[in-house]
Homo-oligomer: A and B are copies of this chain.
Amino acid sequence: MHLKYLHTMVRVKDLDATMKFFELLGMRETRRHDSESGRFSLIFMAAPGDEDFPVELTHNWDGDEGLPSDSRHFGHLAYETDDIYTLCQHLMDNGVTINRPPRDGRMAFVRSPDNISIELLQKGGAKDPAEPWASMENTGHW
């Protein structure tokens, strides 16, 4: 019996801020369902060429009081990128804190507006260390 991974769903408070965050990573909306009766929206986002493995954003229109400010249970979503320095610079230029800078040329962590942890990994192994990353301190946790 075949089993196939489809997606990971996370609940978000501010849909616009969250979609803007994932767009900064290079992802775009691939599918959307707005339910008037249920008063919720489901937005699937993925990078071009990676449409089969989207993140699903669930947004309850009337808010979601049960939503924690952090979530230890859920670890992170991980993505591979061609150039971790360029991506981190792009995020930083757009106001995203690089919680764990890619000092090693290989791995970085950032957080979505809901503090959902996102791991970024350099494709094909570490790049040569480079500033400003090599000497950049951690910020908070991730």
Binding site for B on A (CB under 8 A): 1-11, 25-27, 46-50, 53-56, 58, 64, 66-68, 70-83, 86-87, 114, 116, 119, 121, 123
Identity of the chain B residue whose Cβ is nearest the Cβ of A25 in the assembled complex: B3
Closest CB in chain B relative to A12 CB, distance in Å: 9
Identity of the chain B residue whose Cβ is nearest the Cβ of A81 in the assembled complex: B3
CB-based contact B73/A10 at 8 Å: yes
Count copies of this chain in the complex: 2
Choose among B67, B74, B76, B87 the residue that contacts A1 (Cβ–Cβ < 8 A). Answer: B87
Residues of B within 8 A of A114 (CB): 73
Residues of B within 8 A of A64 (CB): 72
In the bound assembly, the distance between CA atoms of A71 and B7 in angstroms comes to 17
Identity of the chain B residue whose Cβ is nearest the Cβ of A70 in the assembled complex: B73
In the bound assembly, the distance between CA atoms of A5 and B56 in angstroms comes to 13
Identity of the chain B residue whose Cβ is nearest the Cβ of A56 in the assembled complex: B75
A72-B81 in contact given A47-B3, A87-B1 (Cβ < 8 Å): no
Residues of B within 8 A of A1 (CB): 26, 81-83, 86-87
A79-B6 in contact given A1-B87, A73-B11, A73-B114 (Cβ < 8 Å): yes
Choose among B67, B72, B76 the residue that contacts A67 (Cβ–Cβ < 8 A). Answer: B72
Residues of B within 8 A of A119 (CB): 6, 9
In the bound assembly, the distance between CA atoms of A77 and B55 in angstroms comes to 10
